[in-house]
Amino acid sequence: MARNENIQRTYIMLKPDAYKRKLMGEIIGRIEKKGFKITAMKMMTLNDKVLKEHYSHIADQPFFPEIEDFMTSAPVVGMIVEGSDVITGMRRLMGPTHWTEAQPGTIRGDYSCIIGENLIHGSDSIDGAEEEIERFFGKNA
């Protein structure tokens, strides 16, 4: 690796639509092929409590009950992903939140056409990533 690389880690989560549509392998493959390193991975089913914490910034939105139903409807796969500028890098690989804005070639641009069901979560800041990693993998992760 080059010297000036800004190694970070991020919390990535494949949402229930990835599980139901059997797109988990495809998405994990894209992360691996990009060159980022998956250092932890687990499948789990979320409950309302952890979801409210994870999505506290949208918990008062009118669409939140739908998100809650969707996010608890099937397993998710949580991952810690490591690499140079991986927080921004993963957000680029994912594409923007709204599929109408996501370019083909991105995960959301290629596979999503429903706003709430956009396949993948990725942390949006260093502090956010550390908080989410602790939430889903514990303090010592």
Residue of the chain from 12, 14, 46, 67 that contacts ligand IDP (CB under 6 A) = 67
Q: Does 58 bind ligand IDP (CB under 6 A)?
A: yes
**Angle, helices 24-34/86-94, rounded to nearest 10 degrees:** 140
Give me the least distance between CB of 66 and ligand IDP, in Å please. 7
Assess contact for 108 and 94: CB atoms under 8 A: yes
Q: Does 97 bind ligand IDP (CB under 6 A)?
A: yes
Give me the least distance between CB of 99 and ligand IDP, in Å please. 10
Span between the terminal Cα atoms of the chain, in Å: 23
Continuous segment of H or E residues that includes residue 28: helix 24-34
Q: Which residues of 75-114 are buried (b: 16+ CB within 10 A; e: fewer)?
A: bbbbbbbebeebbebbbebbbeeebeebeeebbbbbbbee
Catalytic position from the list 54, 57, 98, 121: 121
Catalytic residue list contains 98: no
Q: Does 115 bind ligand IDP (CB under 6 A)?
A: yes
Is 43 or 115 the residue whose CB approaches ligand IDP more closely? Answer: 115
- Size of interface with ligand IDP, in residues (CB under 6 A): 10
Q: Does 86 bind ligand IDP (CB under 6 A)?
A: no
Q: Does 124 bind ligand IDP (CB under 6 A)?
A: yes
CA-based nearest residue to 89, from 66, 68, 71, 107:
107
Residues found near ligand IDP in the complex (CB under 6 A) = 55, 58, 63, 67, 97, 115-116, 118, 121, 124
Active site residues: 121
